[in-house]
A = this chain, B = another copy of it.
Amino acid sequence: MTTVEQAEKLILAEARDFGTENIPFEQALGRALAEDIKADRDLPPFNRVTMDGIAISYKAIESHITAFKIKATQAAGDEPVDIESLDECIEIMTGAALPNTVDTIIPYEHIEIKNSVATILNAAVKKSQNLHFKGADKQKGQIVATAGQVVSPAIISVAASVGKAELLVRKMLRIVVVSSGDELVDIDVQPLPIQIRKSNSYTIRAVLSQNQQHADLLHIPDDPEITGEKIGYCLQNYDVVLMTGGISMGKFDYIPRALEEMQVKTIFHKVSQRPGKPFWFGKHENGVLVFAFPGNPVATFMCLHRYFLPWLRVTQGLKAKSSVYAVLDEDFTFKPELQYFLQVTLRFSEEGKLFATPVEGNGSGDFANLADTDAFMELPLQRSEFKKSEAFRVWPFNNI
């Protein structure tokens, strides 16, 4: 059987570039940046005053001058005004551009102003104090954000500062989420005792939406002809098909047959893991990828976070995310020869350690637990006893 590690490799090998697009910079939040952003001028663009007060020449301090005639007042955005002698100052505001003839800012707190004369109170003055020098943060042409970063609020800030009203980002994929089976009914329908409501498709769409991807939803009834038509439609109109359920050995699973007839090649079927053993992955000759997640909600959720999102990152050209590890805070036993994905809650100790507490569900169908847990802990395949205080990799699905 395919191992988790092999499955991951086979999936990542199918990552490819779906192109880029220019979009208004605020809409780019959360998208994958596809260009380096460069400073269009020095940052700050001028010697910038960082306190309200007076601007003087430090030479005045060296000459023991303590009282200064206010020659002019200069607000942020005003043209700089020069002094003509050392006993003059400019009353100046935060954000203003420092005039050439001054080099030191003394804040209001340290002066007293009477009759247009500012006198320094008993305060030490350091040359160049309360200034943020031209180019101190970045110099013109220097890179301020790089391709392969997720566009964060900080990058939005940087883009605004350098005048990038549009950003080049990786295109969103055309994704369809396919559910199947006559036992599934819509949310607003009262199901018969033997029916259940659709839920996996919405879960998948929600996770995609958190990752700035949109997905269409499609339901296929248990009918071979309609199945063939709809699968054909998906393979022609989408980049990726995500299926939930429908890939098994069951008599009424028309989907595997339809995929086979349409030349979708199996890359792997079944992974030595729990949940999610029946996970199937394939590729159409036109390049469309089909991720067929097992029908049970926890398995779908796990496969989405363990396989699909990492594939999406690579596909979007994003830098690898650093892995998260947590310390098991009680012993745990899992006997089957499968790689187990244990549902855990996470919390930090004041010593900076991340602790994981197992929350055992009733098998892989128990999605109700997911609402109360934070991550899957990936327990190594070769072992069955996992000890309190051992650390293992975790795949968080809620923000830590």
Contacts and interface: CB of A to CB of B under 8 A. Distances in A.
A160 interface: yes
B325 A368 contact: no
A29 B210 contact: yes
Interface string A161-173: 1111100000000
Contact of A158 (B157, B296, B325, B368): B368
B352 A26 contact: no
Copies held by the complex: 2
* Most chain B C-beta atoms within 10 Å of own C-beta, residue among A79, A295, A323, A351: A351
B45 A157 contact: no
- From A48, A157, A301, A362, name the one whose CB has the most chain B CB atoms within 10 angstroms: A157
Nearest to A393: B350
A203 B325 contact: no
A272 interface: no
A202 to B, nearest CB: 5
A205 interface: yes
Interface string A41-61: 001111010101000000000
Contacts of A182: 75-77
Contacts of A145: 371
Contact of A29 (B91, B95, B206, B351): B206
Contact of A367 (B154, B190, B209): B154
B352 A327 contact: yes
Given A77-B182, A250-B52, A354-B348, A137 B361 contact: yes
B210 A187 contact: no
A203 B249 CA distance: 52
Interface in A127-170: 132, 136-138, 144-145, 149-150, 152-158, 160-165
A138 B361 CA distance: 11
Chain A interface residue count: which class? Answer: 35 or more
A145 B198 CA distance: 18
A197 interface: yes
A85 interface: no
Contacts of A250: 52, 75, 93-94
Contacts of A149: 371
A282 interface: no
A281 to B, nearest CB: 19
28 contacts: A39-B368, A50-B296, A52-B250, A52-B253, A75-B182, A75-B222, A75-B252, A77-B194, A78-B194, A79-B194, A93-B248, A94-B250, A137-B366, A150-B398, A152-B397, A154-B397, A155-B371, A156-B202, A157-B199, A158-B199, A158-B371, A160-B197, A161-B197, A161-B367, A165-B188, A324-B348, A324-B400, A354-B354
Q: Nearest 8 CB-CB pairs, A to B? A: A77-B183, A154-B370, A153-B206, A76-B183, A160-B199, A352-B391, A52-B250, A157-B203
Interface of A: 25-26, 29-30, 39, 43-46, 48, 50, 52, 73, 75-80, 91, 93-97, 108, 132, 136-138, 144-145, 149-150, 152-158, 160-165, 181-184, 187-191, 193-200, 202-203, 205-207, 209-210, 222, 245, 248-253, 295-297, 301, 322-327, 347-355, 361-363, 365-371, 373, 391, 396-400
Given A161-B367, A163-B187, 16 more contacts: A75-B181, A75-B222, A75-B252, A97-B193, A137-B361, A137-B368, A145-B371, A152-B206, A154-B203, A160-B202, A163-B188, A323-B348, A324-B348, A327-B351, A351-B391, A352-B391
